């Protein structure tokens, strides 16, 4: 199920502006990899290159290779739509579809991609809402709009929506930054469970969160404002937080800058 990601020499642009420069790394399957670093260092941009969402932004352009097991996402003849079905994404702000009910939101990815029988969908919706620890809270109001839920519930709904299409990799772009500590805890617990099925990459500004949820941590930084972001170092989370090899990482983690 879960797949390994190998990135080599990846550079991303917004128009003529180079946002991230020459990044090479790999992401282990069935594990959680956290990206940390100051604002504007290209963590989110890099994350979005991993499911070809970067090119949705006007002027977005990518050079380099991203291998999913052994297929290059940017190879010739690759359909971005298939890439995104394989590599799902959860965004910073919860964004359930406002015209759809809770049920329809979870079923959206499947319904919009093909036809399913009602009983089949019922099972998938229940399974994924359970997987997102949301089932007990919403099982009596599946036909109510998703926008009526609290922020934390909406974000778990979005996670259920992303997992319902059964991707191999799940990208999370600061999924807790708009949530309170209790909802954050719920999502972190959920990430711990999800990694048994998915390869998870999470961008976070919260270093404690990175330390709590991730197996490996990558630190990004930029030399100065306007310069492209770079990968400074990546390694096991314990090692990065206790014994970083680069001075900048240590400074960032210990709160001396950033």
Binding site for other proteins (CB under 8 A): 51, 53, 56, 58, 81-86, 88-89, 91, 93, 95, 97-99, 108-109, 112-113, 144-148, 158, 161-162, 165, 167
Least separation in angstroms between CB 91 and other proteins: 6
Least separation in angstroms between CB 231 and other proteins: 23
Least separation in angstroms between CB 240 and other proteins: 28
**How far is 163 from 111, CA to CA, in rounded Å?**
14
Least separation in angstroms between CB 203 and other proteins: 14
Q: Which is nearer to other proteins, 109 or 244 (CB)?
A: 109
The four Cα atoms 9, 11, 173, 164 give a dihedral, to 10 degrees, of: -70
**Integer angstrom CA distances of residue 55 from 7, 52, 63, 94:** 17, 6, 11, 21
Q: Which is nearer to other proteins, 170 or 222 (CB)?
A: 170
**How far is 117 from 49, CA to CA, in rounded Å?**
34
Q: Strand 32-36 relative to strand 199-203: parallel, antiparallel, unpaired?
A: parallel
Q: Under a CB-based contact definition with an 8 Å cutoff, are residues 93 and 178 in contact? A: yes
Go through 212-221 and write b for each residue having 16 or more CB atoms within 10 A of its CB, e for each that does not: bbbebbbbbb
Q: Which is nearer to other proteins, 56 or 223 (CB)?
A: 56
Q: Which is nearer to other proteins, 171 or 234 (CB)?
A: 171
User: To which H or E segment does residue 161 belong?
Assistant: helix 151-164
Q: Which is nearer to other proteins, 162 or 191 (CB)?
A: 162
Least separation in angstroms between CB 14 and other proteins: 15
């Amino acid at each position: 199920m879960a797949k390994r990601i190998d990135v080599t020499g990846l550079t991303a642009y917004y128009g003529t502006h180079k946002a991230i420069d020459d990044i090479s790394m790999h992401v282990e399957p069935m594990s959680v990899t956290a990206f940390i670093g100051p604002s504007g260092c290209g963590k989110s941009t890099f994350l979005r290159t991993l499911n070809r969402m970067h090119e949705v932004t006007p002027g977005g352009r990518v050079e380099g290779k991203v291998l999913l097991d052994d297929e290059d996402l940017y190879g010739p003849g690759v359909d971005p739509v298939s890439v995104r079905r394989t590599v799902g994404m959860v965004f910073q702000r919860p964004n359930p579809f406002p015209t759809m009910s809770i049920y329809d939101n979870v079923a959206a990815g499947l319904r919009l991609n093909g036809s399913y029988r009602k009983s089949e969908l019922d099972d998938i919706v229940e399974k994924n809402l359970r997987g997102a620890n949301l089932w007990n809270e919403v099982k009596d109001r599946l036909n109510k709009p998703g926008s009526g839920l609290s922020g934390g519930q909406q974000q778990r709904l979005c996670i259920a929506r992303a997992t319902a299409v059964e991707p191999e990799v799940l990208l999370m772009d600061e999924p807790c930054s708009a949530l309170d500590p209790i909802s954050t805890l719920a999502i972190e617990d959920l990430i711990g469970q999800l990694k048994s099925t998915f390869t998870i990459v999470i961008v976070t500004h919260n270093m404690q969160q990175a330390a709590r949820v991730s197996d490996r941590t990558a630190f990004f930084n930029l030399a100065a404002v306007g310069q492209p972001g770079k990968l400074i170092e990546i390694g096991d989370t314990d090692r990065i937080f206790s014994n970083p090899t680069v001075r900048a990482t240590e400074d960032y983690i210990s709160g001396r800058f950033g």
